[in-house]
Structure 1
Amino acid sequence: MDVVLGLTPDGDADAEEVERLASRLRGELRGLDLDALRPFAGDVSPEGAKAVDPVTVGAVVLALSASGGVLPALVETLRDWLGRQSARHRVSVTIDGDTIELEWASADERRELVEAFVRRHGTDTE
């Protein structure tokens, strides 16, 4: 399964800060059990994926194995990363044209949104 991630930094972030943010996020993503992590190029997006907004930076495509545990681990990593940031950055997650934007929200709101998204894209174990 291919997942497109896009980072939309807080409007006050300068170019140097944006690059640091994107680099740190990619570093955390490399700690996951991914099949691949590659830069997003608009003409090579996964089938059905929306184009990345021009203000989105550091967009990457992740290839996840079919096992059901990788997507929840990815989303939890993104939630944790966002929770540690001092500014209001957003991360978009797109699978088969379905996008969820994660940003600062209450823990309960984030959990409900993420759980619904993961359920929609969970793998069939039958």
Structure 2
Amino acid sequence: MAVQIHLRLRAADDDMERLERSTGQLRGELLELDVQDVTPVSAGQAPPGTRAVDVAQVGSLLVTIAQAPQTLRQVVQTIRGWLTRDPGAHSVEITLGGDRLVVSGAGAQTEQRLVEAWLKAHGLETAQQPGPQQAGSGQAG
């Protein structure tokens, strides 16, 4: 059974072009993993009179994976690593089945504990590969 993970990127500023570029860069990195698909999230139909058929929500991605906890870990680790390399990124909200985790790239130890607890709640024990040490704090919710 496939699992869908919703990602919502938040930029350090309100630069929508930078957010769109960042979203595309993260999407590219995620597509290199063993995922089924990574697609922009639709905001619905475009306003009447415009050429666009569908409008994408800038900064939102839907990641589809096989129900494999290790793939979920790889997705989260990729996001955390990407946050350390993208100066325009502020945080990424990861939602799976109504369970939310926010990673932001500040305060590595606190964020690592939150990530491990979140992954464990989704069937992945904490004894497996630790995440990046340079990433930072987040919130589980």
TM-score (norm 1): 0.78
Q: What is the aligned-residue identity percentage?
A: 33
Distance in structure 2 (CA, Å) of the matches to 1:118 and 1:33 = 17
Displacement over 3 Å in runs of 4+: none
Asked if 1:57 corresponds to 2:58, the answer is: yes
The equivalent residue for 1:69 is 70
* Structure 2: 5+ residue stretches without partners: 45-56, 125-141
| Per-residue deviation, residues 46-76 of structure 1 (Å, max 9, x unmatched) | xxxxxxxxxx732111111122210000000
Letter in 2 for 1:91: V
The equivalent residue for 2:10 is 8
* Structure 1: 5+ residue stretches without partners: 44-55
How many equivalent pairs are there? 111
Q: Is the Cα contact below 8 Å between 1:88 and 1:104 reproduced in 2?
A: no
Aligned alpha-carbon RMSD (Å) = 2.1
Q: Shift of the alpha carbon at 1:24?
A: 0.7
Q: Shift of the alpha carbon at 1:101?
A: 0.7
- Equivalent position SS for 2:74: helix
Letter in 1 for 2:122: H
Distance in structure 2 (CA, Å) of the matches to 1:36 and 1:88 = 22
The structure having more radius of gyration, on CA atoms, is 2
Q: Shift of the alpha carbon at 1:92?
A: 0.6
CA shift in 2, pair 1:87/1:71, >3 Å? same
TM-score (norm 2): 0.70
Q: Shift of the alpha carbon at 1:23?
A: 1.1
- Equivalent position SS for 2:94: strand
Distance in structure 2 (CA, Å) of the matches to 1:107 and 1:120 = 20
Q: Is the Cα contact below 8 Å between 2:16 and 2:58 reproduced in 1?
A: no
Structure with the bigger percentage of helix: 1
